């Protein structure tokens, strides 16, 4: 088959995989899709919006599962090895994307693809073997039921030792709504139950071996932009010092000092033994070496030694979720529990948060279970039960919203739109709180990471307690995140780069004439299309809210007496977005964004 012609984006293809009849076909990546949605998250959202019927069951064969890379993937651009997984979430019912690092994305791009779109359901377990331009569907019965590490190693033995594997564990096979997709044995597309969708299709893994080279439009311009980007990473204290030395766990002490480290299911914001689970303590006690994703000069990943075994992580969010959220201060236990979740293919954020919710339900007499804050007894077994859908684990595998509702206390689930809120108590950060409430995929810190300016002073410090100016700042970061996730690049580059830097890197790779404002406008288009998808699914302004707990002041610590003032910010946010008072994009705004036909 010939390569795409010059009026189509570069040399990339979209691979369509029908699992029901086990056929594959590929088509060129249309130029219009590239110029309007780039790739990654944006491309996946557009494919789903155009092809999915409203209100379908996310675990039905009719749902789509898209693996997508971006126009800078596998180039010299730093952190360009990531990939995005886009689907309708079984946990939230919203449009959803989750991305992961490692080298899988680079291999997919080097095999010549912009995306793989899976549809239907196989009658028995299978995996996709993509060896450059040769795509085959293979039987996976010999790895069905195995953990992600064993699956990865067996499939590499079957295919090519230099390939990359993205797979599910038992949690995905059992369609657990907290199931993740694991690559490189410990990197995860972790949130929203994307692994459950993969399992619902009887798709155990995607194995990719790509040896080609991603096309670059202007090598000289790209080299200049890359040189600047690397220099900025080295100049920034977060990307050059903190993250390489301590990993993401450097945040434990910082967030705890601000009284925002959620403890005992967000009942408190300060953990008394934060030092014992800090990045400094991780470096001292468990650290073996750094882990670098493809093309990454930062190296925030950790390889740790626990009980004589080398394991990946744990990351900041995991340390919090399986630690302070549950009142647990045993760092070795947390690292081991993280490894267990990776083997089973479970999102650690939602897992830990849901366990914390269950602990408070038990604390308040709503749930009869031997769960107590600070106690690890039985938790390993409970995590296994979640993965295999047994007993109480079957309940928790539905997520905290469903668990708390079942036991008559929905207010005890710390979630937005069904997605568990991560490791930053919103009462201490007004802008970040608004970002949680308005996130299109639910309680997510990465859609608008205002921890940078509100806490870390990057790129500049802003008053974390003020609501004035926060709606516009949230919108800026949301639009930028949509563009970054469509390139697809690591969020940590945002500490060092401006939107113009991203535009220059994109232009050098593709020849697309775009500047910073143009890139933000593209992100705004993606954000609004996601909003339209959710509105079509029945969500509304009523879902742009936070749990009632955050209207109650924190009792002590660096954020003492603070509450979230969402009602002061949300109307202004809607107005600045060009949405009506019910949070619906106006016809004028959609026309301006090129979405009038939608």
Per residue in 373-408, pLDDT (tens digit) is: 999 999 999 999 999 999 999 999 999 999 999 999
Spatial contact of 209 and 111, defined as CB atoms under 8 Å apart = yes
CATH 1.10.599.10 in the chain is located at: 429-495+515-592
Q: pLDDT (tens digit, 9 = 90+) per residue, 413-472? A: 999 999 999 999 999 999 999 999 999 999 999 999 999 999 999 999 999 999 999 999
Which residues, other chains included, contact 261 with Cβ-Cβ below 8 Å and sequence gap of 6+?
252, 255, 269, 270, 271, 274, 320, 324, 423, 425
Q: How high is the pLDDT of residue 598?
A: 81
pLDDT digits (tens, 9 = 90+) for 195-212: 999 999 999 999 999 999
CATH for 429-495+515-592 is 1.10.599.10
Quick one: tokens of 535? Answer: 């509105």
Sign of CA dihedral 391, 397, 398, 403: positive
pLDDT band at 2 (very low <50, low <70, confident <90, very high): very low
Please check the confidence at residue 8 and state whether its pLDDT lies above 80.
no
User: Checking phi first, is residue 527 left (phi over 0); if not, alpha (psi -120 to 50) or beta?
Assistant: alpha
Q: Is the pLDDT of residue 137 over 50?
A: yes
pLDDT of 10 reads 53
Task: Report pLDDT for 3.
Answer: 39
pLDDT tens-digit readout, 207-228:
999 999 999 999 999 999 999 9
- Fold designation for 13-209: Aldehyde Ferredoxin Oxidoreductase;  A, domain 1 (3.60.9)
pLDDT digits (tens, 9 = 90+) for 288-319: 999 999 999 999 999 999 999 999 999 999 99
To the nearest 10 degrees (0 to 180), the angle between helices 331-344 and 148-158 is 50
320-350 pLDDT, tens digit each? 999 999 999 999 999 999 999 999 999 999 9
Q: Is the pLDDT of residue 74 over 80?
A: yes
Percent above pLDDT 90 for the chain: 97
- Residue extent(s) of CATH 1.10.569.10 domains in the chain: 248-420
How far is Cα 535 from Cα 542, in angstroms, rounded to an integer?
A: 11
Q: In percent, how much of the chain has pLDDT > 70? A: 98
Residue 25 sits at φ, ψ, to 5 deg, of -150, 155
CB-based burial of residue 388 (10 Å sphere; 0-12 exposed, 13-18 middle, 19+ buried)? middle
pLDDT computed for residue 200 by the predictor: 98
Bond prior to 314 in cis (omega within 30° of 0): yes
- Interval 109-135: pLDDT, tens: 999 999 999 999 999 999 999 999 999
Q: pLDDT tens for residues 85-113?
A: 999 999 999 999 999 999 999 999 999 99
pLDDT over 60 at 9, yes or no: no
Identify the pLDDT of residue 7. Answer: 38
Nearest to 349 by CA among 415, 304, 305: 415
The CATH number fitting domain 248-420, selected from 1.10.730.10, 3.40.50.620, 3.10.180.10, 1.10.569.10: 1.10.569.10
Is the backbone of residue 104 left (phi > 0), alpha (psi -120 to 50) or beta? alpha
- Asked if residue 151 has pLDDT above 60, the reply is yes
Mean pLDDT of all residues in 493-509: 97
Q: Do the Cβ atoms of 95 and 533 come closer than 8 Å? A: yes
CA dihedral 382, 386, 388, 394 (to 10 degrees): 110
Q: Give the ranges where 439-586 is alpha helix by DSSP (H).
A: 451, 470-487, 499-510, 516-536, 566-577
Q: What is the residue-averaged pLDDT of the chain?
A: 96
Which band of pLDDT confidence, cut at 50, 70 and 90, is reported for residue 4?
A: very low
Which residues make up the CATH 3.60.9.10 domain(s) of the chain?
Answer: 13-209
**Residues with Cβ < 8 Å from 133, sequence gap 6 or more?**
1, 111, 112
């Amino acid at each position: 088959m010939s390569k795409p012609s010059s009026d189509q984006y570069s040399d990339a293809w979209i691979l369509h995989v029908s699992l029901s009849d086990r056929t594959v076909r590929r088509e060129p990546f249309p130029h219009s899709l590239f110029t309007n949605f780039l790739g990654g998250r944006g491309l996946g959202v557009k494919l789903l919006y155009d092809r999915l019927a409203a209100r379908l069951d996310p675990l039905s064969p009719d749902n789509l599962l898209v693996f997508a890379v971006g126009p800078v993937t596998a180039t010299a651009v730093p952190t360009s090895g990531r990939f995005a997984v886009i689907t309708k979430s079984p946990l939230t019912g919203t449009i959803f994307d989750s991305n992961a690092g490692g080298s899988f994305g680079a291999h997919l791009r080097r095999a010549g693809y912009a995306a793989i779109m899976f549809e239907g359901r196989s009658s028995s377990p299978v995996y996709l073997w993509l060896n450059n331009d040769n795509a085959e569907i293979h039987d996976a019965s010999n790895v069905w039921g195995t953990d992600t590490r064993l699956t990865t190693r067996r499939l590499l033995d079957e295919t090519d030792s230099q390939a990359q594997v993205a797979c599910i564990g038992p949690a995905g096979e059992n369609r657990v709504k907290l199931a993740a997709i694991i690559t490189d044995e410990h990197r995860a597309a972790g949130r929203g139950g994307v692994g459950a969708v993969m399992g619902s299709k009887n798709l155990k893994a995607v194995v990719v071996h790509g040896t080609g080279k991603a096309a670059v439009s202007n090598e000289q311009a790209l080299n200049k932009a890359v040189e600047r980007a690397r220099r900025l990473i080295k100049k920034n204290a977060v990307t050059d010092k903190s993250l390489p030395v301590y990993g993401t766990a450097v945040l434990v002490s910082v967030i705890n000092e601000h009284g925002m480290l959620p403890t005992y299911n967000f009942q408190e914001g300060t953990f008394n033994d934060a030092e014992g689970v800090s990045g400094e303590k991780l470096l001292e006690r468990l650290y073996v070496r750094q882990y670098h994703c493809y093309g990454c000069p930062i190296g925030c990943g950790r390889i740790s030694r626990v009980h004589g075994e080398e394991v990946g992580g744990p990351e900041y969010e995991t340390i919090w979720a399986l630690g302070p959220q549950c009142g647990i201060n045993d760092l070795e236990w947390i690292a081991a529990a993280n490894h267990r979740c990776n083997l089973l293919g479970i999102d650690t954020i939602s897992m830990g948060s849901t366990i914390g919710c269950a602990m408070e339900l038990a604390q308040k007499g709503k749930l009869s279970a031997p769960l107590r804050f600070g106690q690890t007894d039985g938790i390993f077994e409970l995590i296994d039960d979640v993965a295999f859908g047994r007993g109480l684990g079957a309940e928790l595998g539905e997520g905290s919203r469903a668990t708390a509702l079942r036991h008559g206390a929905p207010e005890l689930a710390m979630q937005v739109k069904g997605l568990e809120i991560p490791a930053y108590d919103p009462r201490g950060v007004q802008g970040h709180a608004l970002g949680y409430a308005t996130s299109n995929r639910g309680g997510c810190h990465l859609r608008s990471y205002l921890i940078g300016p509100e806490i870390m002073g990057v790129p500049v410090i802003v008053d974390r307690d003020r609501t004035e100016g926060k709606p516009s700042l949230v919108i800026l970061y949301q639009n930028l995140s949509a563009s970054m996730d469509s390139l697809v690049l690591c969020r940590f580059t945002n500490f060092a780069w401006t939107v113009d830097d991203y535009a220059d890197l994109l232009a050098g790779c593709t020849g697309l004439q775009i500047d910073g404002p143009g890139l933000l406008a593209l992100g705004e288009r993606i954000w609004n299309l996601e909003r339209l998808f959710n509105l079509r699914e029945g969500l509304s302004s009523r879902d742009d809210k936070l749990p009632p707990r955050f209207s109650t002041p924190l009792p002590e610590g660096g954020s003492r007496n603070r509450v979230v003032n969402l009602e002061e910010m949300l109307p202004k946010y809607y107005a600045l977005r060009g949405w009506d008072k019910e949070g619906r994009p106006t016809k004028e705004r959609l026309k301006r964004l090129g979405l009038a036909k939608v």
